[in-house]
A and B are shown apart, each in its own frame.
Chain A
């Protein structure tokens, strides 16, 4: 079974810093990987989707990379803002069960003004 791990579990940074969130997965035969943010009491908001054939995706201040062979993805946030404070989740789908996504437990990010 696919295991997804996110480190660190919590992170606190001052406003303006660049930061990196990590996601690792045990089975490299993934179909795609998706990064989400979750705000307290709310559902998940999709940030970036990387197909297995891609190496990275960018959206604004966010950049997600994917290294299937090492089972890792990183989410880079540039010039962090207090509004970036949320829990960030990564999820992977498996090649043979493309519809079933496996989620990590998330990294809780706090950006201090």
Chain B
């Protein structure tokens, strides 16, 4: 079946612009995660959605970062007024109801000039 998909695969933007990244989880997966991976570093947790519950936003680095998810479908991660330190690969993962194994998308590589 189809895995987790993310778009765009690459995004180059200028400092100060807003960007929107999209994640399509595996159909039927109730949990959705966003991570950031800077060059040469490990993954940093950003935000977690579980069904219709309030999201866990504890990993968002600043108020310039926000994410939305409608029900158990698509999620968008928005970064406002981008800075050069936002350059990274943004990874999305989903998990099925009652499960903890995470299935990752290919990521979006964001470059802020």
- Which residues of chain B are near A89, meaning CB under 8 Å? 42-43
A91 CB–B CB distance under 8 Å: yes
- Specify the chain B residue showing the minimal Cβ separation from A45: B104
How many B residues touch the partner, as a band? Answer: 20 to 34
Interface of A is mostly: strand
A30-48: CB near B (< 8 Å → 1, else 0) gives: 0110101000011111100
Which of A13-21, A66-74, A77-85, A93-101 is the interface stretch? A93-101
- Which residues of chain A are near B33, meaning CB under 8 Å? 99, 101
Which of B11-19, B63-71, B78-86, B95-103 is the interface stretch? B95-103
* B residues in contact (CB < 8 Å) with A: 4, 6, 31, 33, 35, 40-45, 48, 50, 56, 58-59, 91, 93, 100-107
